[in-house]
Amino acid sequence: MKLWKPANENRAAFEHARRITAYYSKSFYFSARMLPSEQRWATYALYGFCRHCDNLIDVPRQRTEAEILREVQFVGEELQIAYDTGESEHPVIRAFILVAKSYGIPIAYPLDLLKGVAMDIQQTRYKTFDDLSLFCYRVAAVVGLMMTHVLGYKDDRTFDYARQLGIAMQLTNILRDVKEDKEMGRIYIPQTDLVRFGVSEQHIFDEIMTPQLKALIKFQIERADRYYAEAIPGISLLNTDSQYAIYSAAKIYRGILRKIEARDCNPFLGRVFVPSIEKMGILLHEGLRTKVLSAQEKLFPAHSGIINK
């Protein structure tokens, strides 16, 4: 079923989601383009919805906290109606609900995402890593869980790995955006970690790069790396023709950590990114790897699980 082309009545909604993805996340768009056509357009719809929710707080506007929270509540109410009826005229929910219904995405996931958005409005500090990991789950891991439904999977354990990968990517976002976040009054690094390494909030606000702050950032990088290490083996549990894009996305995102390290763990030198030529190299490598795996599975189906390891 071509979700974005039924008599063309939904094509505009899916195209809108594609443009949102291309504009706001070049890395994600880069990887998604390598997916089979059906999954690719479903991915755009999913990302378009998630980005709309994020933008309720990330895009500066003349609105009070209470007004933004009402917007979040409205999206939740419209989402519930869409799940009940299977349709919506909301510009991003229209495409998303078709995907959610087609791939069996539980409503709990997008509702958890909205809880994460509300959490981000009301909370600018996180006392412990457990507190932060709940936020990471809501704003990132649930995206991975929704994507798992779209991509297809061979084993229910895939969802545990997807959760870990989502948290790894959100921890990467936090490290990449330390400078931008502090300029908005937000510090996502757990307060207990600041105390442990002897770093004050003022060091971050004044961009004072001390040996203690370097050690703190290095510790956060190592934590994110552990989540990647735990998550990546689970990608082999996705359908083979979807693995390429997720291996690529994970490597591109993990590459951001290496870029921060190359700057001597200084988060105040501007946002780091993986250049397009490096992304292309990753995509080519993973594309070849996926083709080899696919050929092996066809030739030796009984041993595909061993080959994937």
- For the chain, give the number of residues: 309
pLDDT digits (tens, 9 = 90+) for 256-292: 999 999 999 999 998 886 656 655 565 555 555 555 4
Confidence band for 248, pLDDT divided at 50, 70 and 90: confident
CA atoms within 13 A on the CB side of 109: 26
Alpha-carbon distances of 20 from 44, 64, 248, rounded to whole Å: 8, 25, 20
Does domain 132-309 fall into CATH 1.10.760.10? Answer: no
Phi, psi of 238, rounded to the nearest 5 degrees: -75, 160
Give pLDDT tens digits for 123-163: 999 999 999 999 999 999 999 999 999 999 999 999 999 99
Question: How far is C-alpha 87 from the chain's CA centre?
Answer: 25
Whole-number average pLDDT of the chain: 88
Give the tens place of pLDDT for each residue, 207-231.
999 999 999 999 999 999 999 999 9
Structural domain boundaries of the chain?
Answer: 1-122, 132-309
Global pTM? 0.87
Tokens linked to 53 = 């929710």
Report the pLDDT averaged over residues 8-31: 86
Smallest CA-to-CA distance from 106 within 165, 41, 168, 150 is with 150
Structure confidence at residue 304 (pLDDT): 44
Task: Give me the pLDDT at residue 1, please.
Answer: 43
> What does the alpha-carbon distance between residue 93 and residue 52 come to, in Å, rounded to a whole number?
9
Listed in sequence order, the DSSP H helices in the chain are 11-24, 26-32, 37-58, 65-85, 93-103, 108-122, 129-136, 142-151, 158-176, 178-183, 191-197, 201-205, 211-231, 240-262, 276-299, 304-308
